[in-house]
Structure 1
Amino acid sequence: MVRRTRLDDSECPVARSVDAIGDWWSLLIVRDAFDGSRRFGEFQRSLGVAKNILAARLRALVDGGVLASVPARDGGAHREYVLTEKGEALFPVVVALRQWGEGHFFAPGEERSRLVDRRDGRPLRPLEVRAGDGRPVAPADTVVEKPGG
């Protein structure tokens, strides 16, 4: 089996983030956690992923501090998975992926799930990247400053 390259010591924040949650199962688990899934069986039914893969991804997300394993709310013997503060900080990432997917992978009028504001039922505004002074910025308006460079 090919060993996965570790990126957790990279100087690049994108590389470290991908190392922590970059595989599709992990991102979909986080998405489902935002949608209210808490139990192993709920994740398994929603994703259709093999139990051994799900167990490994849940363990990695717990070890990485994205999810916490907590006693069941109903007092049962099983454990539940909840987003930590670190996990909840992924919300803009999941929203950005959702909005990117809506814009590039669906035909006009094609049915899809929608993320709406709970208060008024309206879709969220598209996310924007803004400079410190509030103006919108595009890729051409930015530069990556590398350590020692």
Structure 2
Amino acid sequence: MQSLRIFFIASGIWYLCNLVLLWPPVYAGALSLIYPGIDLGQGQPVFDLLLDAWLIVGIQLAAIGIVALWGARQPWKYIALVPVIVLTEAVGAAWDIYSLLCSGEAEWVVFTTLAAHAVIVLGAWYTWTAAHREKAQQGAVTS
């Protein structure tokens, strides 16, 4: 279960970092790089609403991160969190593709985040198969 433990710790830290990156003062400064040349209404109430909405996304990701870190203590018991993480990454990837095609998000941002989603999904696949293989081997040894 070592690979599952490592995956949970890495995912948990990643999702907590997302909360920091989406914290309004941090994210406000990055938005002009993420959406170059687009008037996001900086200085207007709608901009604060945008920042608040992304803060909620950060809090939701942090919640998954906390559960992942908690689950690292007993990885097999929390293995159902792996598909939650994969689906979270799939939704994030879909949003990134939409943002590239329809919202003017900078290509470098999209490709960077798509790479991060891919690394997490591939890590989840490896971890899922390794954990099930290890569990099957443990069952064979104890039988």
Higher RCO, Cα 8 Å, sep 6+: 2
Structure showing the higher strand proportion among its residues: 1
Normalised to the residue count of structure 2, the TM-score between the two structures is 0.28
TM-score under structure 1 normalisation?
Answer: 0.27
| Structure with greater proportional helix content | 2
